[in-house]
Structure 1
């Protein structure tokens, strides 16, 4: 039998992948959930998965976590600025453990985009290619939950403030990306593939309209300059660096960095990605 491991398995995406692997018919005993804090993984234990401690920032935990693993999903870390070293530690441990293939969650057009998040993903992809392990790269686009998770905030203010202009965001839900990851893990013919994964695009103005339609509460989009957005974010309590980072993401949206075709995702999951309207309705 093939043993599959998922890192970050108590996170939003990782937990969905573990669940979907089991629902797909992979025996729970063949699913290894690699987590930073095993005490937080009770739900995974209850589901029957094997839970192992594996901390990106503690390389000594990784060899045991990956022992006997055939195919690994390396879910990218969340600590911006630390991820190349963290991912490299996982890749090194996978080499030492004899892992047969690594599936990695990257970002759209990681090797060419000016998106501020891209350099660490590009560097990780380079580490994968240099490792000698067969790989599959899932260049995930934006998550719809980046917006639907803030619906309460948007409703309370009646406005979405941004600097994205008419830029389109080809977002998909975590469930969509999890389904794609499962196919890449268990399906045939994915070794060496690089997939650009994205959903049906929308603008922030269209996001506001969908929230208003789903809730019956007026919500509008207010477009400002990048400099104005930085000032607004700082006024809300963000430090200068964080405010600049967030504003840079809107600037990237306006530039088109978050727009892409949904062809790869549709093909992998065998259906269209979840529509924004459906995601908004589910969230409210």
Structure 2
């Protein structure tokens, strides 16, 4: 496996959870030319003290991106939080990378990225993938599966109410921790070659029934799964106060769990990070207090 430890490596969104963790992993693995990109360089003063070069990288300023990427060999584009604007933001970043002479792009995408109108947030990832492929640059697209951390938002409510809502026919989700995805992204930046799309998953798919059992075992409180149709699940989320667009996106994720898109399991985490991915049950046990136990 080729080692790009001494190449110039830039991580965008480095003030976010995944980006910062990826930078820390690059340093831990001996990378010598690490660049952290962020809209607010002041937030990364501690990384500068560790020898990281800090650059202002603003995806809303496409004219400034070629200069921000100047001299960079390999680029990790952490998908932005600009839902609704990500295609324009990330396409501009890809174009700037090509202009700047970047040789390899690593991008954090989503499972089963596709342009279908009912695919939730997936079209934004799909069209970014298309832009990367069309650039002619080498790339590694990392389709990060559902973050294990998302359970810390949904399961406390299920524990409190005793009910976990999900779609009829759920076939499981291969939850992966954000730490595992960050280590994987850093590993890809350090070693990946060619052009490839990889699914980044946890060690096994976990169904809603299994999630409810884990939550119940950890808290000592009964949690029952309530299965609904997509329309009823979306309506329930809206009634609970979620914006309609967000409720539709979450319902789309659930539909993909029913179709099997989220049940894929690969060895990509272990291959690029050097360690097995953490199981959801172990992650939740480590965060037991957040469940309301």
Could you say which residue in structure 2 is the equivalent of 1:282?
286
Q: Does 1:31 align with 2:61?
A: no
Could you say which residue in structure 2 is the equivalent of 1:8?
13
TM-superposed deviation, 1:112: 8.5
Q: Secondary structure in 2 aligned to 1:258?
A: helix
Q: Secondary structure in 2 aligned to 1:221?
A: strand
2:174/2:205 contact within 8 Å kept = yes
Q: State the distance in 2 between where 1:63 and 1:197 align.
A: 29
For structure 1, which segment, 216-225 or 31-40, has the greater mean C-alpha deviation from structure 2 after superposition?
216-225
1:244–1:8 distance in 2 versus 1, CA, 3 Å: same
Could you say which residue in structure 2 is the equivalent of 1:231?
235
Alignment of 1:73-152 (within 5 A): 73-111=76-114, 115-152=119-156
Could you say which residue in structure 1 is the equivalent of 2:264?
260
Could you say which residue in structure 1 is the equivalent of 2:220?
216
Q: List gaps (5 residues or longer) in structure 1.
A: none
Length-normalised TM-score, structure 2 = 0.88
Could you say which residue in structure 2 is the equivalent of 1:52?
55
TM-superposed deviation, 1:35: 0.8
Q: List gaps (5 residues or longer) in structure 2.
A: 1-5, 289-293
Q: State the distance in 1 between where 2:122 and 2:98 align.
A: 24
TM-superposed deviation, 1:84: 1.4
**For each residue in 1:11-52, what CA deviation from the matched residue of structure 2 results, as whole angstroms up to 9, or x when unmatched?**
11111100100011113xx21111122233334334432221
Find the partner of 1:156 among 160, 181, 189. Answer: 160
TM-superposed deviation, 1:75: 0.9
1:111–1:248 distance in 2 versus 1, CA, 3 Å: closer
Could you say which residue in structure 1 is the equivalent of 2:3?
none
TM-superposed deviation, 1:101: 1.1
2:166/2:226 contact within 8 Å kept = yes
Q: State the distance in 2 between where 1:117 and 1:16 align.
A: 24
Could you say which residue in structure 1 is the equivalent of 2:43?
40
State the superposition RMSD in angstroms. Answer: 2.1
Could you say which residue in structure 2 is the equivalent of 1:22?
27
Could you say which residue in structure 2 is the equivalent of 1:179?
183
1:162/1:229 contact within 8 Å kept = yes
Q: State the distance in 2 between where 1:46 and 1:157 align.
A: 46
Q: State the distance in 2 between where 1:226 and 1:166 align.
A: 11
- May I ask how many residue pairs the two structures share in their alignment? 281
Q: State the distance in 1 between where 2:85 and 2:258 align.
A: 27
TM-superposed deviation, 1:111: 4.9
1:262/1:273 contact within 8 Å kept = no
1:245–1:53 distance in 2 versus 1, CA, 3 Å: same
1:60–1:270 distance in 2 versus 1, CA, 3 Å: same
Q: State the distance in 2 between where 1:91 and 1:248 align.
A: 27
TM-superposed deviation, 1:121: 1.8
Could you say which residue in structure 2 is the equivalent of 1:167?
171
